[in-house]
Structure 1
Amino acid sequence: MSVNTILFDLDGTLLEMQTEPFIEQYLRALGRYVGDACDTKKLIALIWDATKAMITSQEADKTNEQVFIEYFREHGEWNIEEIWPIFDAFYRDEFPKLVEHTHPSPWAKQIIAGAKAQGFRVAVATNPVFPRDAIHHRLAWIGMDPEEFELVTVYEESHFTKPNPGYYLEICKKLGVEPSECVMVGNHMQEDMVASKVGMKTFLVTNWMEDRGEPSYPVDQKGTLEELHQAISGRSGVFAG
């Protein structure tokens, strides 16, 4: 089958940034915002552990949000009904300020515009370990709206995370496409290029490339954001057929 759908990673790909320093700043900001409401160190440790529970979950009948909340209830010492509104307020009011720890560039809009001009379907395949608000804010930082994509993966609606191959199969099911019709574009060897395991073609973006060494996956094409734009607009390489 010929390629008709492009899945784009967000952090480090469409949104230029280094992921680990950003996560550090995010957790610091959350800790400051929560303040005296709870023991900050315990809370952040619990958030990390609940996130790991989402990443390792194989329960296809539970959303990532459900897995996170269940872990939080079972292992935390706080009343979730009291602390959740604090989280919601943080994502609404404080999370947008974290844009200063990223490097938005014009390439994102140009790449998406180029893909649409060539008739490709486009979706944002960002790791759904964040609430919808946090992901939509990050799209806004590159000047884009969720409505500009056929799908944006968020933890309220996704049942798997990267690097689980099931995450990519779920996207295909939602879009009604076969993996062989898709190209996964991302900057992370382990989390994005794993899409090759389900039969997707892959494009590794090198500007903010991340590679933990193992495991390693086949890369069909790689290049900078500028080279990605050229390949999509010219329907060359993995985007040719």
Structure 2
Amino acid sequence: MLKTILLDLDDTLLDNQMERFLPAYFQRLGDYMSDTFAPDGFIRELVVGSQKMLENSDPRVTLEKTFADYFYPALDLNAGEVEAQIYTFYKQIFPSLKSVTGTRPSARPVVESLLNQGFEVVIATNPLFPRVAIEERLRWADLAPEELSFTMITSYELFHFTKPQPAYYAETLGQLGRQPHEVVMVGNDPGLDLDPAQVLSMRVYHLSDDPVDKYPGGSLDDLLGWIEQQVDAPDPEEIRTAQAISARFRGHAGALATLVRKLTDDEWKRRPAAGEWAPVEIACHLRDVEMEVNRPRLAVFSAAEPPHLTALDTDPWADERDYLSQSGPEALSDFLEARVALLQELEILTENEWDKPALHSLLGPTSLLELMGIATDHDLLHLAQMHATILEIT
């Protein structure tokens, strides 16, 4: 069932051609900072820092940190002082760039209609900017976030991956606790918005007067009618591929790190109800499954003969290992390290290795591809649990 609508921002909800916007943006930012830095050098390193964000594949490092770790040392800057200056730029100067963009009259009525129908609406813009800059662009589109209840705005503070990485979409789904068939991505750029979303078997809609043949599409006004059709349509079948599985493993790890980022020591150990897990118990469970189920299962496929695998009941570990007494941040860190190691092992597999067979005590004949796909489903189950738990306890 369709529950969530992801909406791209630039040239979807807001007329904003990057070939016009970016030169004007760089010019005004360079001028603003020129009393402190030579504009050419400042902008050059800003561009390189942005490229570092586009290339990041590490779920342990947010895009904000990826940028900062390159940009400030490259210019020998004190990050705290310059961040304050840049924030002031976004509050005082950046709004003047509205003049190089244009409002789309249908954008607000369409968003309001989706919200009134009960859909979660996410602003799924490429998270290369801080939230303050994205919120300002939303105001230019007559979609002020203080007036509309967006479920999420994807910004560089909260995300680890960018478009066109499928991991960006997996991270979005993970933070929301949503299955791919519950979500549609709406955007104008097939390469950034649609192709990578469809890798995860998400529904997509090409916002264009001339949509490409392989995708449904049309105008913003047409979107509402198409979504109405999707509500009653059968859920699309999920197609498991090595690319999708790796993207989900990567994006889910980033999503977990973001979901728990603000938990206090008390909240880590707070159960939403008797018999339900606290965040620390969920994190410990994911850590131990990664270290004692997922990675060992991958390892046994290196043998010449198809492995025989036994189903494991891992839920009792929460009490047996007293997860509630453990450290949430340490469990998260250990999980992320194990996940990165798993991803490194998966990256070197050939297509034939992904298809290697096995015999499972419950599944019967299976393959590495199927088992790793089931592991990503397990991830998402507990990300949805974490999402719901945090809403309940905070």
Q: State the one-letter code of the partner of 1:23.
A: L
Contact 2:59–2:160 (CA<8 Å) still a contact in 1?
Answer: yes
Shift of 1:240: 4.6
Q: What CA deviation, in whole Å up to 9, does each residue of 1:198-233 have, x standing for no partner?
A: 111111111699xxxxxxx9843111222224433x
Percent identity (aligned): 35
Contact 2:102–2:141 (CA<8 Å) still a contact in 1?
Answer: no
Separation in structure 2 between the aligned mates of residue 90 and residue 218 of structure 1, nearest angstrom: 42
Q: In the alignment, what sits opposite 2:173?
A: 172
Q: State the one-letter code of the partner of 1:40.
A: P
Q: In the alignment, what sits opposite 1:214?
A: none
Shift of 1:73: 2.9
Q: In the alignment, what sits opposite 1:159?
A: 160
Q: In the alignment, what sits opposite 2:54?
A: 55
Contact 1:201–1:220 (CA<8 Å) still a contact in 2?
Answer: no
Q: In the alignment, what sits opposite 1:86?
A: 85
Which deviates more from structure 2 when the two are superposed, residues 110-119 or residues 193-202? 110-119
Q: In the alignment, what sits opposite 2:188?
A: 187
Q: 1:59 to 1:174 in 2, by over 3 A?
A: same
Q: In the alignment, what sits opposite 1:227?
A: 222
Q: 1:120 to 1:219 in 2, by over 3 A?
A: farther
DSSP-derived class of the 1:122 partner = strand
Shift of 1:96: 0.8
Select the residue among 194, 198, 201 that pairs with 2:200: 198
Does residue 111 (structure 1) correspond to residue 110 (structure 2)? The answer is yes
Unaligned runs of 5+ in 1: 210-216
Which deviates more from structure 2 when the two are superposed, residues 26-35 or residues 80-89? 80-89
Per the normalisation by structure 2, the TM-score is 0.55
Separation in structure 1 between the aligned mates of residue 28 and residue 135 of structure 2, nearest angstrom: 18
Q: How many residues align?
A: 230
Shift of 1:239: 5.2
Separation in structure 1 between the aligned mates of residue 219 and residue 124 of structure 2, nearest angstrom: 19
Separation in structure 2 between the aligned mates of residue 17 and residue 208 of structure 1, nearest angstrom: 18
Q: State the one-letter code of the partner of 1:224.
A: S
Per the normalisation by structure 1, the TM-score is 0.88
DSSP-derived class of the 2:221 partner = helix
Unaligned runs of 5+ in 2: 234-394
Q: What CA deviation, in whole Å up to 9, does each residue of 1:139-160 have, x standing for no partner?
A: 1122223351111111111111
Does residue 133 (structure 1) correspond to residue 128 (structure 2)? The answer is no
DSSP-derived class of the 1:119 partner = coil
DSSP-derived class of the 1:37 partner = coil
Does residue 100 (structure 1) correspond to residue 95 (structure 2)? The answer is no
DSSP-derived class of the 1:36 partner = coil
Which deviates more from structure 2 when the two are superposed, residues 72-81 or residues 126-135? 72-81
Shift of 1:50: 0.5
Q: What CA deviation, in whole Å up to 9, does each residue of 1:118-138 have, x standing for no partner?
A: 332211101111011100111
Contact 2:189–2:206 (CA<8 Å) still a contact in 1?
Answer: yes
Separation in structure 2 between the aligned mates of residue 133 and residue 198 of structure 1, nearest angstrom: 29
Separation in structure 1 between the aligned mates of residue 209 and residue 65 of structure 2, nearest angstrom: 34
Bigger fraction of residues in helix? 2
Separation in structure 2 between the aligned mates of residue 44 and residue 207 of structure 1, nearest angstrom: 35
Does residue 142 (structure 1) correspond to residue 141 (structure 2)? The answer is yes
Q: 1:207 to 1:239 in 2, by over 3 A?
A: farther
Q: State the one-letter code of the partner of 1:221.
A: P
Q: 1:74 to 1:37 in 2, by over 3 A?
A: closer
Does residue 65 (structure 1) correspond to residue 64 (structure 2)? The answer is yes
- RMSD over aligned Cα atoms: 2.0
Separation in structure 1 between the aligned mates of residue 16 and residue 171 of structure 2, nearest angstrom: 26
Q: In the alignment, what sits opposite 1:4?
A: 3
Shift of 1:33: 1.1
Structure number with bigger Rg:
2
Which deviates more from structure 2 when the two are superposed, residues 195-204 or residues 14-23? 14-23
DSSP-derived class of the 2:5 partner = strand
Separation in structure 2 between the aligned mates of residue 139 and residue 98 of structure 1, nearest angstrom: 12
Shift of 1:21: 1.1
Which deviates more from structure 2 when the two are superposed, residues 109-118 or residues 64-73? 109-118
